[in-house]
Amino acid sequence: MYSQKIQNLSESATIAISTLASELKAKGRDVLSFSAGEPDFDTPQVIKDEAIRALNSGFTKYTAVAGIPELREAICKKLKKDNNLSYTPKQILVSNGAKQSLFNIFQALINDGDEVIIPAPYWVTYPELATYSGGKPVFINTDENSNFKITAKQLKEAITSKTKILVLTTPSNPTGMVYTKAELTEIAQVLKDTKIWVVSDEMYEKLLYGVSFTSVASISDDMMKRTITVNGLSKAVAMTGWRMGYLASVDDKLVKLMDNLQSQCTSNINSITQKASVVALSGDADNDIEMMRDAFEKRRDLGCELINNIAGLSVQKPQGAFYLFINIKGVSRFGGDSMKFCSELLSQEGVALVPGSAFGMEGYVRFSFACSTEQITEGIKRIEKFVRG
Ligand SMILES: Cc1ncc(COP(=O)(O)O)c(C=O)c1O
């Protein structure tokens, strides 16, 4: 029979809903999907040009498992310039998207029964990875009063002798909230005399709206040592399909162990993506990145305004990423049941959202605004009709 481990693993709820929406569309239904966490923009041309050059020059062979030297150099430069973090190339491991970076980390650190603290609402993958690697997710629930961020006090209360990892996502998927330097400093204080690793998922770092960003590892030398910084190009540079993510840790041995793991399963990421990624990180695509960020900011403002005008719905303005985490508790006929809300909305109005239950929080639904303003306007018009009943 199949392994217990694999049978316990769930399909990603966001991918499941996007797939369902695509299937309905293929059957001829008029479906608007706001479920995928994927920019609607094309990859900037300078990056594509470099990929074509790499392909035509025959750069099509295996590379070092952790990535070509110039890519790891480029990542180090980026981390220094943008985040004030000093890593050496051998402290970088490039993987098939940040998803694989996270998989490597959990496999490398978790022993059976180790606890992984995950602030809720959370990105769907963390609890699955924690469980799959033998660990136990421990959730810290947040709410709108704390802008969906954990406090130092909550963290202190959640720590036990078995705590191995704290996961921090800033900006957050699904809420878009960003931790301030002061908040991270308080968290760092709680961790100071512990052996807890911090996994800092900074995937949405480039998508910020009027706030500044602090990398968790930059808070102190102690945080630099205990933090594994995770980032990638999927969201910021519209490169979801290229599969480029990376992790950085000053623990050379840990990085080598994860390199060993990757060498036994997927080896290096696509060689052409690696060359293109050097250009993506070089600054040559910065104007395109800013153009996309600016468009997302306008869409965020539009989406928030339209949603907050609907009786029964409300949303806190996200400070980053491209999601609205919409409070549906005021729509009394659902009693906060986010799955019921999403399935009826999809079948009645052809609008796909992700239920908050998938992110560990009932009473909310996630709306991705990584799509055109026309789609946002039309989708929210349908949501309003649906909510009115
Ligand atoms: C918070 C967060 N981390 C990591 C990822 C993984 O991104 P990728 O594997 O495309 O690099 C995602 C994608 O949805 C995400 O939302």
Atom of ligand 1 nearest to the CA of 123: 1
* DSSP codes, 217-282: GGG-HHHHHHEEEEEESTTTTT-GGG--EEEE-S-HHHHHHHHHHHHHHT-S--HHHHHHHHHHHH
Pair (272, 297) in one structural domain: no
- Examine the fold and report which residue of 252, 282, 312 is the final residue of a domain before the chain moves on: 282
CATH code, domain with 364: 3.90.1150.10
As for how many domains the chain has, the answer is 2
pLDDT confidence of residue 261: 98
Judgement on whether residues 73 and 159 belong to the same structural domain of the protein: yes
Which residues span the domain enclosing 179? 60-282
Instruction: List Cβ<8 Å contacts ≥24 apart for 216-221.
Output: 216/168, 216/170, 216/179, 216/184, 217/83, 217/85, 218/83, 218/84, 218/85, 219/181, 219/184, 219/185, 219/188, 220/185, 220/188
51: in domain: no
Measure 111 CA to ligand 1 centroid, in angstroms: 24
Tell me whether residue 55 is in a domain: no
Q: Does residue 209 fall inside a structural domain?
A: yes
**What's the gap in Å between 201 CA and the centre of ligand 1?**
8
Query: Is there a single domain that holds both residue 366 and residue 351?
Result: yes
| pLDDT by position in tens, the chain (length 389) | 899 989 988 877 777 777 888 888 888 989 999 998 899 999 999 999 999 999 999 999 999 999 999 999 999 999 999 999 999 999 999 999 999 999 999 999 999 999 999 999 999 999 999 999 999 999 999 999 999 999 999 999 999 999 999 999 999 999 999 999 999 999 999 999 999 999 999 999 999 999 999 999 999 999 999 999 999 999 999 999 999 999 999 999 999 999 999 999 999 999 999 999 999 999 999 999 999 999 999 999 999 999 999 999 999 999 999 999 999 999 999 999 999 999 999 989 999 999 999 999 999 999 999 999 999 999 999 999 999 98
Report yes or no on 120 lying in a domain. Answer: yes
Residues 173 and 311 in one domain: no
354 and 306 in a common domain: yes
Kindly state whether residue 98 falls inside one of the protein's structural domains. Answer: yes
Looking at the DSSP assignment, which residues form a beta bridge with residue 137?
116
Residue 53 lies in a domain: no
- Specify whether 105 is located in the same domain as 235: yes
Residues with CB under 6 A from ligand 1: 37, 97-99, 123, 169, 173, 201, 203, 232, 234, 240, 245
For residue 131, the domain's CATH number is 3.40.640.10
Task: Please give the distance, rounded to the nearest whole angstrom, from the Cα atom of residue 321 to the centre of ligand 1.
Answer: 11
Q: Which two tokens stand for residue 131?
A: 């469980």
Query: Cβ(20)–Cβ(346) under 8 Å?
Result: yes
Q: How far is CA 126 from the centre of its chain?
A: 10
Same domain, 192 and 312: no
| CA-nearest residue, atom 4 of ligand 1 | 98
Last residue in a domain, options 282, 308, 327: 282
Ligand 1 centre from 106 Cα, in Å?
15
122 lies in the same domain as 77: yes
Smallest CA separation from ligand 1 atom 3, residue: 203
Q: Whose CA is nearest to atom 2 of ligand 1?
A: 203
Q: Are residues 138 and 221 in the same domain?
A: yes
